[in-house]
Amino acid sequence: MVNTVPFLSPHPTHVMNVKTHCGNCNLRDLCLPIGLTEAELDRLDQIVKHRRRITRDSALYRMNDPFVNLYAIRVGHFKTYQVNANGAHHISGFQMTGELLGMEAISSYRHQCNAVALEDSEVCEVPFSDLENLLKDVPIMLHYFHRMMSHEIAQDHNAMLQLGNLRAEQRFGAFLLNLSTRYKNRGYSATNFQLRMSREEIANYLGLTNETISRLLSHFKKMGWLKVNNREITLLDVPALLMLVEGK
């Protein structure tokens, strides 16, 4: 246990003064590169001092907040969204356990979106200034961090292509397959999972209407591609979904 002064946030969150040991974390394979020495892990442990709990529908940070920390999601799910000049919301992504939040703020040192918990969640705070110093001394972590940033850029690029080029049913199929892959990578079922986001939030993210999402769910069920029980999704025919997304 480490004696610390709780970070006072303007948003309804709770900081836990618990020392986090990255080397013993069950998310280590998701968050950290393979091959770190014990000394390098100890240095990382000295940086990651706080875990923060964020209740459902509460903001981890808001657009234009000063950038201080990156946040590794330890438990739960988030959505990130922007608000345009007319006050309309546009969801830019859904994040889950093992992923980083806040990288969009590195260039401007101001957050470029809002990050809100979709359920009661928990994150590890990673002070960016301390992380920068560590990356200078540990090349394997610097390389891994660059790969993570590149992956995020590629994901954003693919999402833009999907919204611009795919039909509605292809967008929705790609969305389900993306969730399937991400859950599989975390050791969960690739074919049975809960949607943590609402249908309205999915529609917003995919640039569709709520009615279209409901129609697509009914169509996918009729085709025998999936089962739906409230927010529980069971994928019954992944190859068919892949063929749909690929336009075959």
102-147 confidence digits (pLDDT tens): 999 998 999 999 999 999 999 999 899 988 888 888 888 887 777 8
**Residue-range domain boundaries for the chain:** 13-137, 166-245
Q: What is the pLDDT of residue 227?
A: 96
Q: Which residue has the higher pLDDT, 20 or 8?
A: 20
* Top-level class of domain 13-137: mainly beta
Cα 229 vs. chain centroid, distance in angstroms? 24
pTM: 0.82
Q: Which residue has the higher pLDDT, 160 or 240?
A: 240
Task: Indicate the CATH number for domain 166-245.
Answer: 1.10.10.10
pLDDT (tens digit per residue) in 170-221: 999 999 999 999 999 888 999 999 999 999 999 999 999 999 999 999 999 9
For residue 226, the cross-strand partners are 235
Is pLDDT at 6 greater than 50 in this prediction?
no
What's the rounded Cα separation, in Å, for the pair 140 and 142?
A: 5
Query: Who contacts 71 (Cβ-Cβ below 8 Å, separation ≥6)?
Result: 52, 60, 100, 101, 102, 115, 123, 124, 125, 126
